Amino acid sequence: MSRGTADASWARFPLAPASTLLLLVTCVGAIASPAVAGAQSTTETLDFDRPEAWAMVRLTSLTLLSSLGPPGLGRTAEPGGDLRLRITGEVGWVPALSRQERTVGFYGTKEEDTNKSPVFGRFRVGLSGGAGWSAELAAMPPVEIGGARPFLVAGSVGWSRSLSDVALGIRVHAQEGYVQGDITCPARIVAAGDDLERNPFRCEEPSSDRLHPRYLAASGSIGTTVGRVQPFAELSVIRHRARFEVDALYGGVVDQGVLSTRGTGWSVSGGVAGARIRGVDLVVEAFYSPLTVQRRFNQPRERAGAWNVRLGVSVDPG
C-alpha cells in the first residue's frame, strides 16, 4: 500500500489485560513467507491521543494491576509477625467497542477486530510481613479466548499502615508481556477472499499481531471497616509504554512494522471487600481511567475513558 494514499503503519491496531520488578516472558516474531511480492518493516512512535495509541492504552488500562481490595485486605501482618501468603483469582470485564470506536486504523478510517474476549482472568500471589511491607506477583494464563492469547506478568511492592479505623497504603507496580491475536487481518475477513467490500485491504491470511501493554505506576489507597464489609479506594499515576508489533500479509505485502506510544495517565478504582467466610475474601471493584482521543486528523479531541468491573476471590492458605 503506497504511503501517498495511506501510511500502512496506520492500519495496525492492538487488542482487547514490571520491567523493574519481574523476570518476563519474551517473544519471537513470526517468519514471513518469501513468496510475497514485498515486505515492509517500519517503526513509528505515535502521539498519545492518536486513535491507534488510544486503543493500545485503553487495553493496557483495563489490565492494570489495581489493589483489588483495601490495603493488605485490611489484614496486614503486625510488626514482627510472621509472613502471610494470599492467593487471589481475579476476573475482569472487557467492554466491547462499537464499530465507530474500533475504527482506529489509518488514523481512524479502518475498522479493526478489537472485540476479542469479553473478560480476562489472572492469578495473584501476595506475600506480606512485619512493618506492613508486601509484594505481589500476577500472571494471566496463556489460554486463547476469542482469538486472543495473553502472556502477561505483573508485580507490585507496597507498604500499608493502620491508623485507628483507617488503613493507608502505597504501591509501585508494573506489567510486561504481550497479547497475541489476529487483529490487523482477522480470520473472518480473510475468509471473504477477493470480496473487496468485506476485505478491502486484501488480507491473505490471519495475522499474528502482538500488543505489549507495558506500564509503570505508583498508587495510594485507603480502606476502612463498616460493619462486616471493607470499602476502599485507590488512585494511581501511570506511565504507559505500549507497543504493537504487526505480523500481517495483505495485498501481497508482509507488514512487520511496529507502533509504540508513551504517555502519562491516571486511574481511580474502588469497591467493597465482603466479610471473610472460612478464610475466603470476596471483592468487587470498579475501575476507571480517563483518556482522550483524536479519532480523525484535524478533528477535535474527545473523552473516551477506559472502565471496567472486576471480581476477586482471595484465600490465606496459612
**Per-residue pLDDT tens digits for 154-170:** 999 999 998 888 999 99
DSSP string, 43-105: EEEPPTTSHHHHHHHHHHHHT-----SSGGGG-PPPTT---EEEEEEEEEE-PPPPTTTTEEH
Mean pLDDT (the chain, rounded): 85
Q: What is the pLDDT of residue 278?
A: 76
Q: What is the pLDDT of residue 146?
A: 84
Check which CATH number belongs to the domain holding 64 and give it.
2.40.160
Distance CA 82, CA 160 (A): 16
Is the pLDDT score of 20 beyond 50?
no
Q: Do the domain assignments include residue 78?
A: yes
Task: Give yes or no for a contact between 186 and 154, defined as CB atoms under 8 angstroms apart.
Answer: no
198 burial type by CB count under 10 A (0-12 exposed, 13-18 middle, 19+ buried): exposed
Is the pLDDT score of 64 beyond 70?
yes
Give the mean pLDDT of 45-68: 96
Q: What is the pLDDT of residue 33?
A: 35
Question: Quick one: which of 47, 76, 18, 4 has its CA closest to 261?
Answer: 47
Q: Do the domain assignments include residue 22?
A: no
Q: What is the pLDDT of residue 5?
A: 35
Distance CA 222, CA 43 (A): 42
Domain span at 278: 55-175+207-240+262-315
Give the range among 48-57, 143-152, 230-239, 284-293 with minimum mean pLDDT. 143-152
Is the pLDDT score of 39 beyond 70?
no
pLDDT category at 210 given cuts 50, 70, 90 is very high
- Between 153 and 86, the more confident residue is 153
- Between 73 and 171, the more confident residue is 171
3-class DSSP state of 107: helix
Is the pLDDT score of 195 beyond 70?
yes
Give the mean pLDDT of 141-162: 92
Q: What is the pLDDT of residue 164?
A: 83
Give the mean pLDDT of 184-199: 93
Phi, psi of 207 (to 5 degrees): -75, 165
Is the pLDDT score of 218 beyond 60?
yes
- Between 205 and 280, the more confident residue is 205
Q: What is the pLDDT of residue 38?
A: 63
Q: Do the domain assignments include residue 158?
A: yes
Phi, psi of 96 (to 5 degrees): -75, 150
In terms of DSSP bridges, do strands 38-40 and 253-255 run parallel, antiparallel, or are they unpaired?
A: parallel
Q: What is the pLDDT of residue 30?
A: 34
Give the mean pLDDT of 173-177: 98
Q: Do the domain assignments include residue 68?
A: yes
Q: Do the domain assignments include residue 36?
A: no
Q: What is the pLDDT of residue 12?
A: 41
Q: Do the domain assignments include residue 284?
A: yes
Q: pTM of this prediction?
A: 0.84
In terms of DSSP bridges, do strands 292-293 and 302-303 run parallel, antiparallel, or are they unpaired?
A: antiparallel
pLDDT category at 318 given cuts 50, 70, 90 is low
Q: Do the domain assignments include residue 253?
A: no
Q: Do the domain assignments include residue 124?
A: yes
Q: What is the pLDDT of residue 95?
A: 96
pLDDT, tens only, 242-271:
999 999 999 999 999 999 999 999 999 999
The tally of domains found in the chain comes to 1
Phi, psi of 53 (to 5 degrees): -65, -40
Is the pLDDT score of 280 beyond 60?
yes
Amino acid code (one letter) for 273: A
